[in-house]
Amino acid sequence: MAHPQFDYSHLSPEERLQLVEDLWDSLALDAPESVPIPASHAQELDRRLEAYRRGETATRPWHEALDRIDERLTGRGG
């Protein structure tokens, strides 16, 4: 496989992280089956799904979860 030449040395750390995120997202969208999932992650997802199905986990609406994450990331709470 040929390696494309791309000079990223001029990018800031934030821009490089955004590039990584964009590349990862493109893989997940274009070829999700090609994104490897470690066995331990798959097992944890299965465990959490079973706990949810048994009613053993607390849930909240998606917008509340996003708000909580945002608060933690911006240092306003939790």
Q: What is the pLDDT of residue 72?
A: 92
Residues recorded for the chain: 78
pLDDT tens across 3-54, in order? 778 888 899 999 999 999 999 889 888 887 888 889 999 999 999 999 999 9
With 0.85 as the threshold, say if the pTM is over it: no
The structural domains of the chain, with segments of one domain joined by +, span: 38-78
| Rounded CA separation 20/53 (Å) | 35
pLDDT tens across 49-63, in order? 999 999 999 888 999
| Rounded CA separation 35/31 (Å) | 7
- Which pairs with CB-CB distance under 8 Å and at least 24 residues apart come from 19-23? none
